Structure 1
Amino acid sequence: MTGKTHIIGGVAASLAFAQITNYEPAILLCTGVIGSLIPDICHGGSKIGRALPILSKLINGLFGHRTFTHSLLFLILIAVLLHNFMPMEDISAGLLVGMASHIVLDMATKRGVKLFFPLRWNVRFPFTATTGATSEYLVFALLSLLSVYFGYGIILSL
């Protein structure tokens, strides 16, 4: 998936999560977008990889692409770090929701992810989308509609 699809996925997931929690929707939304980009730190050509090239190169050299940073182990590690060092739960929740949305979206690609890293199993959905193809644009459109739907729900609840 491309960066824009991950971003709209983070938006949709954050707004949906805001519907079922008492966290501040604006904070969830902003941090969900940031979180939706974090797993691709392992790819030098990604938005976050270009922003942090040294860290990206180091992580890619150690683990490769779509392995550790696309795993449950990474999510748990980040959750523990955020729990211990981030005083605002809204920020932590948004980051984790965004990261989880990224991983789920990459599970919808042919390559899948190493969800159970360090085990070498590739996990992907039975239906997949090709990055940059019509199928990804359909995913983007669906996520856009979901973002509007969940955003509208938040506005109504104010």
Structure 2
Amino acid sequence: MMGRTHLALGAVAGVHLAAAAPGLGLPVAAAALLGSILPDLDTPYSKLGRRLWPLSRLVYWSFGHRGGTHSAVFLVFAAALLAVASPPVGIALGAGIATHLAADAVSYGYGQRFTFRGAGVPLFWPLSERKAGFRLLKVNGLAENLVVLPWALLWAGQAGWRLI
């Protein structure tokens, strides 16, 4: 999926979790948004990768795209690390990462960014590099842009409106 779709899905998780954490709404929503794009730190072509390109290139060189940062181990490690400081914020980061992994598990693409690791996500990495998921939506395709992205934006907007 494209970064904008990952962010929209993270916003859905963020507004729902923000409603459940009074007083921590903004940090919780921000953590979910960050988590929704954090796994793509493994590619210098992503929204986050372009901003942190030296780190992104190192992670890409080490794991490739849709490698270790697209696993359950990464999700648990990142969420637990942040949960030490604030459990609700750590849970929100984990939820954002989970939306990213779910979206990438059902999407596929072509080109340099996908040839190293392919479609799906290595959910059980490092125990197995076998991909979990199936090829349902083409990255930046019609279904993503005309169904998933608008649906997520409307859902996040509607849920967020109730928080005001």
CA deviations over 1:111-157 (Å, ceiling 9, x no partner): 111111121221114x61111111111110111121123213333xx
Output the CA distance in 1 between the equivalents of 2:40 and 2:6: 10
1:26 shift after superposition: 2.1
Q: Which residue of 2 aligns with 1:32?
A: 32
How many residue pairs are counted as aligned between the two chains?
Answer: 151
Output the CA distance in 1 between the equivalents of 2:83 and 2:26: 20
| Partner SS for 1:16 | helix
Q: Which residue of 1 aligns with 2:120?
A: 112
Output the CA distance in 2 between the equivalents of 1:142 and 1:42: 27
1:5 shift after superposition: 0.5
Output the CA distance in 1 between the equivalents of 2:31 and 2:129: 30
The one-letter code of the counterpart of 1:65 is H
The alignment status of 1:129 with 2:137, answered yes or no, reads yes
Off by >6 Å, runs of 4+ in structure 1:
none
1:90 shift after superposition: 3.5
Q: Is the CA contact 1:67–1:115 (under 8 Å) kept in the aligned structure 2?
A: no
Output the CA distance in 2 between the equivalents of 1:28 and 1:81: 15
Unpaired stretches in structure 1, ≥5 consecutive residues: none
- TM-score calculated relative to the size of structure 1: 0.86
Output the CA distance in 2 between the equivalents of 1:30 and 1:112: 26
- TM-score calculated relative to the size of structure 2: 0.83
Q: Is the CA contact 1:8–1:144 (under 8 Å) kept in the aligned structure 2?
A: yes
